[in-house]
Amino acid sequence: MGKGDIKSKRGKIWNGSYGVSRLRKKKKSAVVASPKKKPTVKKTRPKAEVVEETKPKAKPKAASTDEKPKKAPRKTTKKSDTES
């Protein structure tokens, strides 16, 4: 197992990749306590009420329960006379 083997640790080092054979070291993140700022609140004027007229919804057509959805016809293949 040498430099050309991409599954070995030496091959991973040579290729510059990572994987099961060569895991990455976890970076330690430095946690810095920052002073908390007061949340800013935007002042807005109350909006005028908008009255919308509602239209009556159209009723869907009643589907009869007796009818079943039609299925597509099956595809058939022609059998040749020379087939054995």
Structure tokens at 77: 């293949």
In the structure, what pLDDT confidence band is assigned to residue 64 with cuts at 50, 70 and 90? Answer: low
Give me the percent of the chain exceeding a pLDDT of 70: 68
Owner of token pair 């946690």: 31
Decide if pLDDT at 78 tops 60: yes
- What's residue 74's pLDDT? 81
Report phi then psi at 57, rounded to 5.
-75, 140
- What's residue 40's pLDDT? 74
11-25, 48-62, 68-82: least confident range: 48-62
Any residues with CB less than 8 A from the CB of 21 and at least 6 apart, and which? Answer: 7, 8, 9, 12
- What's residue 5's pLDDT? 86
The overall average pLDDT reported for the chain is: 75
